[in-house]
């Protein structure tokens, strides 16, 4: 776990601030490092793909390309939510993909000193999706591991 | 690799390509000083650059060639076939070194001494009145195969290769069009007006244009009802169409790029196989998208090899059959609508149909009983089946059983089609039908599960509407439809896409069957509804979705909706539709049947305001379903504007009239070709396609005109020529009406 926590922090300075975009899924808030986000597209209605793996939230049109989106609700075992979504366009080694969220919140400036790794009590499924969490005033913000959300990796993880 | 080396590689490869063409021409005109000068320059340029780039092996080989070419140019030597064979070997030698530099950055280990000695030997030997030199094993081998008797300094055999288009020793017209040719010494004047562009940039431009086409489609749909936007959107439409055409043009390359490789292949093969063949090339200027050109290179080479090996007989056999001992192989490229047709035809023995039959039975591709029923034309199609080869002996040229099916697979992969025609003793013609571009394809939009899907038109052969009353027949859970008496296996798209889901009973609703033909697999895809055909821009899918295996891509429709593009071949495979020659045969039988029986032409049976009428099917171009708002009027003549082209619509049946007042009504317009113009026939329903029967007038026994017997009912035939033409001057007509 320790190797993964480093990638979400700026390595240049020990106590530097990192910018984290907060996103809402159901009643919970999660964080995504802003450097991983190419663009945020609001209010889209993804086009479902019959026979696609369950985590695929459908297709969206993004700048001339057709993006495959990942349905975080399905991954977190939450009931599906019909209607429009916000999409975070994320970059991965295999091209970009979209992450469907209920809403995008504010951008937080957080100190990496407040970062902590996943607790050992977290269930395995979520441990695979989260990179760790930031301790905020009065609450915790779980960080999403964008690399693990890559559709190709999710597909590979499913077949294993 | 540094830029200098890369540039050197590109230039050298271009130079060698040109040299190859020139060498085959030189064989025709050994005295042509211009040709010799050109070949000399190609080699000289390579040698010049190797010096400061430090490619020693290349320099040495080029130097040996240059010496030989120098003597030829100065008239001290004759360009005999033997010399040309040597020069072609030099060419191959240079190429392989260049290839190794390109791949590994170094010249690679190799021994050119034998080749260099051979080239030197040629100089000495030819200078000394054509006595064969004993230098080097390769020389001896080359002489053995290249072959005029050693004593004859000039070739006595007629030239093997003939390029009619090769005129004066200037650049062929194609070269000027070829952007990449900029720097060659020959096309000096073209250099100022053209420049070299990276293919990736052109690809990016093509993508952007595709994007623009989508945006245009959306704007056209969104502004269709706003009169203020009409001019603007029309202008946008025109500019987009123009831009798209020009960007596509920039990607076009003349087929001469691959045709020019053929003389060499023909020359080499005729020597190996002991044939005498004249190559004729036509339509070299015909242009094709670069990616498509690359894709057909292998199939075409394969077809040429096949024609030489299986088609054209050895000279003795030809003479015995009373034919010119020299065979003719014709390569022809031409435009045909939105396709480029490439023909490879030979005047050889043709395909022995009985051999094909025997082989097909032997290989278990068909039963003997079935084979006995098939016509010659149907049997011919069997050669496209995998694992089929009629060659008695497996040669290293062809006959390994991976022949024609590979040609067909490769051509169909890019949306093309392959046809074959053969006459016993007269020759064989193979026709490759290639679409002009890949990036934008015409597609039919179908609806199922409340979603739109795109179905490429290329594999769509017809559409059938089945009303709830016309039951689909079932055999043990396999749905079938009786299409003109033949059983067509059906695939329900909704069942395919949601296995285990709840499906409406198909008998309770109206359905459409899209009859598809994918790689020889024929089946009907049942969908819930049809929408308009659209030109779609193919967008690739991510690897995860590609893995599903049913979709070949996605696209954005005119209404901004995303649609998945269905892959008919994959659907056929997934549904277990078998590849069968019988289907091909049935179609051929149908086609030939309609000619043989001469029961009259086929008709489209339509209904307008309750009355039935027949439209000759041969004249029908397409059937459009339009919202009533699309029908506009000039005076009282209904017309439809199709992307700037006006189509007069005949409403004798009253289909439009009946719909007026109902703003959501849709009108079906059968677009027909009639004597060089297009006319539309407004109908309320298209019922079927059927063969018409002749009707004779009682008493006189004369053929009754204007009527036909369709489905045992006397039906009037729509008189297309009776549709009055649109007036040449709108204003005058408006005035006249006012």
B462-497 pLDDT, tens digit each:
888 877 656 678 887 788 888 877 788 888 888 888
A contacts of B544 (beta carbons < 8 Å): 52-53, 56, 68, 151-152, 154-155
Are the CB atoms for A14 and A155 separated by under 8 Å?
Answer: no
Contact status of B501 with chain A (Cβ, < 8 Å): no
Structure confidence by residue, pLDDT tens digits, A102-144: 989 888 888 888 888 888 888 877 788 888 888 888 888 889 8
Interchain CB distance below 8 Å, A94 and B451? no
Q: Any chain A CB within 8 A of the CB of B483?
A: no
d(CA A50, CA A34): 32
Task: Flag the least confident range among B160-169, B220-229, B249-258, B407-416.
Answer: B160-169
> Given the structure tokens 């793909």, which residue do they identify?
A49
Q: What is the CA radius of gyration of chain A?
A: 15
Interface test with A, best of B448, B542, B571 (most A CBs within 10 A): B542
Q: What is the mean pLDDT of residues B575-584?
A: 58
Arithmetic mean of pLDDT, B609-620: 80
> To the nearest whole angstrom, how far is the Cα of B107 from the nearest Cα of chain A?
35
Least confident of B120-124, B125-129, B536-540, B717-721: B125-129
* Sign of the four-CA dihedral B441, B445, B448, B453: positive
Q: What is the pLDDT of residue B172?
A: 42
Q: How many angstroms separate the CA of residue B236 from the nearest CA in chain A? A: 19
pLDDT of residue B287: 85
pLDDT confidence band for B116 (50 / 70 / 90): confident
Average pLDDT for chain B: 75
Coil vs helix vs strand at A141: strand
Nearest to A51 among B207, B550, B563 (CB): B550
More confident residue, B703 or B480: B480
3 state SS of A79: coil
Would you say residue B726 has pLDDT above 80? Answer: no
Structural contact between residues B86 and B72, judged by C-beta atoms closer than 8 angstroms:
no
Confidence (pLDDT) at B565:
92
Mean of pLDDT values over B6-16: 81
The DSSP bridge pattern shows strands A28-33 and A140-144 to be: parallel
pLDDT of A21: 92
Beginning with the edge strand found earlier in the chain, give each strand of the sheet holding A115-116 in spatial order: A103-111, A17-25, A28-33, A140-144, A130-135, A115-116
pLDDT in the model for residue B510: 63
Sheet harboring B417-423: ordered strands across? B277-282, B327-336, B339-346, B427-435, B417-423
Q: Which pLDDT band, with edges at 50, 70 and 90, does B125 fall under? A: low
Report the pLDDT value the prediction gives residue B356, as an integer from 0 to 100.
80
Round to whole Å and give the CA distance between A6 and A11.
8
Most confident of the following: A25-39, B24-38, B228-242, B645-659: A25-39
Contacts of A67 in chain B (CB under 8 A): 542
Find the closest chain A residue to B448 by CA distance.
Answer: A50
Q: Which of B150, B394, B162 is nearest to B142 (CA)?
A: B150
State the average pLDDT over residues A19-32.
90
CB proximity under 8 Å: A 49-108 to B: 49-53, 56, 59-61, 64-68, 94-95, 97
pLDDT range class, residue B453, cuts 50, 70, 90? very high
Q: pLDDT class for A98, splitting at 50, 70, 90? A: very high
CB-based contacts of B212, cutoff 8 Å, min separation 6: B240, B243, B244
Per-residue pLDDT for B572 more than 60? yes
Closest chain A residue by Cα to residue B215 = A64
pLDDT at B146: 41
3 state SS for B515-535: EEEECCEEEEEEECEEEEEEE
- pLDDT (average), residues B707-713: 74
Inform me whether the pLDDT recorded for B254 exceeds 50.
yes
- pLDDT bin (cut points 50, 70, 90) of residue B48 is confident
Please tell me the predicted confidence (pLDDT) of residue B28: 78
pLDDT(A60) > 80: yes
pLDDT value of residue B587: 43
Q: What percent of chain A has pLDDT over 70?
A: 89
List of chain A residues whose C-beta atoms are within 8 Å of the C-beta of residue B539: 64-66
In this prediction, residue B167 carries a pLDDT of 38
Mean pLDDT of B293-311: 85
pLDDT at B643 > cutoff 80: no
Q: Report the pLDDT value the prediction gives residue B127, as an integer from 0 to 100.
A: 54
């Amino acid at each position: 776990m320790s190797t993964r926590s480093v990638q979400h922090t700026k390595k240049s300075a020990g106590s530097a601030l990192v910018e984290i975009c907060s996103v809402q899924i159901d009643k919970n808030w999660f964080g995504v490092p802003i450097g991983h986000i190419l663009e945020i597209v609001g209010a889209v209605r993804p086009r479902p793909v019959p026979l696609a793996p369950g985590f695929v939230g459908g297709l969206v049109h993004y700048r001339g390309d057709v993006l495959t989106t990942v349905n975080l609700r399905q991954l977190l075992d939450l009931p599906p939510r019909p209607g429009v979504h916000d999409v975070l366009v994320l970059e991965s080694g295999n091209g970009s993909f979209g992450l469907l969220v209920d809403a995008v919140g504010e951008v937080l400036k957080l100190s990496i000193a407040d970062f902590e790794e996943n607790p050992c009590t977290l269930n395995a499924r979520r441990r695979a999706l989260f990179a760790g969490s930031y301790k905020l005033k009065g609450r915790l913000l779980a960080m999403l591991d964008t690399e693990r959300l890559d559709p190709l990796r999710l597909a590979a993880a499913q077949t294993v | 690799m540094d830029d200098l080396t890369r540039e050197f590689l590109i230039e050298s490869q271009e130079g060698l390509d040109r040299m190859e063409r020139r060498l085959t021409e030189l064989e025709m005109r050994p005295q042509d000083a211009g040709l010799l000068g050109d070949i000399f320059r190609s080699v000289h340029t390579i040698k010049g650059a190797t010096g400061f780039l430090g490619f020693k092996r290349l320099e040495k080989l080029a130097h040996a060639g240059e010496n030989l070419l120098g003597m030829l140019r100065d008239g001290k030597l004759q360009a005999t076939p033997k010399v040309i064979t040597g020069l072609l070997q030099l060419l191959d030698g240079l190429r392989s070194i260049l290839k190794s530099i390109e791949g590994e950055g170094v010249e690679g280990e190799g021994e050119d001494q034998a080749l260099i000695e051979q080239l030197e030997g040629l100089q000495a030997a030819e200078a000394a009145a054509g006595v064969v030199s004993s230098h080097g094993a390769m020389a001896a081998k080359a002489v053995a195969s290249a072959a005029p008797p050693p004593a004859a300094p000039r070739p006595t055999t007629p030239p093997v290769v003939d390029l009619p288009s090769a005129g004066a020793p200037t650049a062929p017209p194609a070269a000027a069009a070829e952007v990449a040719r900029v720097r060659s010494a020959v096309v000096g004047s073209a250099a100022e007006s053209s420049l070299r562009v990276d293919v990736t940039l052109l690809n990016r431009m093509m993508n952007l244009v595709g994007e623009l086409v989508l945006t245009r489609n959306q704007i056209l749909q969104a502004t269709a009802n706003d009169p203020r936007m009409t001019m603007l959107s029309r202008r946008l439409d025109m500019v987009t169409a123009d831009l798209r055409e020009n960007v596509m043009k920039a990607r076009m390359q003349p087929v001469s790029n691959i045709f020019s490789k053929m003389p060499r292949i023909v020359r080499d093969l005729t020597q190996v196989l002991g044939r005498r063949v004249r190559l004729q090339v036509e339509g070299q200027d015909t242009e094709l998208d670069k990616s498509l050109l690359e894709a057909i290179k292998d199939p075409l080479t394969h077809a040429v090899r096949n024609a030489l090996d299986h088609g054209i007989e050895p000279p003795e056999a030809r003479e015995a059959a009373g034919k010119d001992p020299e065979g003719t192989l014709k390569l022809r490229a031409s435009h045909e609508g939105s396709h480029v047709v490439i023909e490879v035809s030979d005047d050889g023995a043709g395909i022995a149909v009985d051999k094909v039959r025997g082989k097909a039975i032997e290989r278990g591709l068909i039963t003997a009983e079935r084979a006995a029923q098939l016509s010659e034309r149907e049997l011919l199609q069997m050669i496209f089946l995998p694992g089929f080869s009629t060659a008695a002996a497996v040669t290293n040229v062809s006959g390994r059983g991976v022949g024609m099916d590979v040609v067909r697979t490769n051509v169909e992969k890019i949306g093309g089609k392959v046809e074959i025609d053969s006459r016993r003793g007269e020759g064989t013609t193979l026709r490759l039908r290639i679409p002009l571009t890949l990036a934008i394809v015409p597609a039919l939009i179908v609806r199922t599960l409340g979603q739109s899907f795109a179905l490429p038109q290329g594999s769509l052969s017809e559409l059938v509407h089945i009303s709830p009353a016309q039951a689909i027949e079932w055999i043990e859970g396999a749905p079938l439809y009786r299409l003109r008496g033949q059983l067509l296996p059906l695939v329900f798209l909704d069942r395919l896409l949601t296995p285990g889901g709840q499906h409406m009973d198909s008998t309770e609703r109206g359905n459409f069957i899209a009859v598809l033909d994918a790689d020889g697999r024929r089946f009907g895809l049942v969908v819930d509804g049809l929408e308009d055909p659209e030109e779609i821009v193919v967008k690739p899918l991510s690897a995860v979705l590609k893995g599903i295996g049913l979709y070949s891509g996605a696209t954005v429709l005119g209404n901004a909706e995303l649609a998945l593009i269905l892959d008919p071949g994959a659907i056929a495979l997934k549904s277990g539709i078998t590849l069968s020659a019988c289907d091909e045969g049935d179609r051929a039988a149908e086609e030939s049947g309609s000619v043989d029986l001469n029961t009259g032409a086929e008709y489209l049976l339509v209904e307008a305001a309750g009355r039935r009428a027949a439209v000759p099917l041969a004249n029908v171009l397409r059937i459009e379903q339009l919202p009533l708002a699309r029908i506009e009027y000039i005076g009282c003549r209904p017309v439809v504007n199709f992307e700037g082209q006006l189509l007069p619509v005949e409403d004798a049946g009253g289909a439009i009239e009946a719909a007026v007042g109902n703003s959501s009504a849709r009108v079906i317009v059968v677009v027909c070709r009639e004597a060089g113009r297009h006319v539309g026939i407004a109908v309320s329903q298209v019922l079927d396609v059927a063969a018409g029967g002749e009707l004779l007038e009682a008493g006189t026994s004369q053929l009754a005109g204007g009527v036909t017997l369709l489905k045992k009912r006397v039906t009037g035939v729509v008189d297309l020529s009776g549709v009055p033409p649109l007036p040449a001057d709108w204003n005058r007509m408006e005035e006249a009406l006012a």
